[in-house]
Structure 1
Amino acid sequence: MLYRGNDGEYYGGVDIWERFESNSWTPFAWDPERGTEWVETDDQELLELTPVVREEVPRSVEIERTDSGLSVA
């Protein structure tokens, strides 16, 4: 899964889980109907992550497929 953050950055599912596991992000809320997630960053700011399809991601964004899922380089 790929997400666009309200910070203008793109994130893969792998990127999000790595931040959760390192405690730099904390899950805050999730909208199961839209798939939107909100996380609290280590700066104590809320970041909204909206799911996007690969075709919506600019070509300049490098997407890597790993064994665990997608990651944005």
Structure 2
Amino acid sequence: MSRTRAVYVGSDGNYYGEADIWERFETGCWAPFAWDSESGEEWVETDEQQLLVLTPTSPEELPQRVDIERTEAGLSIDSAV
């Protein structure tokens, strides 16, 4: 996972920080599937065996309703409405 891009928008319409992604990997909810080193896009397999595409984005491009929290593990995103 790229450390230079810590915020992603998922193909499910949700936003994820690097801490959110690693937490899902560590708990087994997601498994890494593929990564494009040029674009930074990542594909993960969910526990429902669906592919989710994570596209890196700038924190400045996030909607105002999205809160970014800096944690020891990296950025965490709260996009609850």
TM-score normalised by structure 1 residue count:
0.97
2:73 pairs with 1:68: yes
2:18 pairs with 1:13: yes
Code of the residue aligned with 1:43 in structure 2: it is E
Select the residue among 16, 38, 45 that pairs with 2:43. Answer: 38
The sequence identity of aligned pairs, in percent, is 62
- Runs (4 or more) in structure 1 with deviation over 6 Å come to none
Code of the residue aligned with 1:44 in structure 2: it is Q
Q: Deviations over 1:11-53 (max 9, x none)?
A: 0000000000000000000000000000000010000000000
In the alignment of these two chains, the number of paired residues is: 73
| Distance in 1 (alpha carbons) for counterparts of 2:26 and 2:59 | 25
Residues 19-28 or 59-68, more deviating:
59-68
Q: CA RMSD, aligned part only?
A: 0.5
- Could you say which structure has the higher strand fraction? 1
Structure 2 stretches lacking a partner, 5+ long: 1-5
TM-score normalised by structure 2 residue count:
0.88
Code of the residue aligned with 2:18 in structure 1: it is G
Partner of 2:9: 4
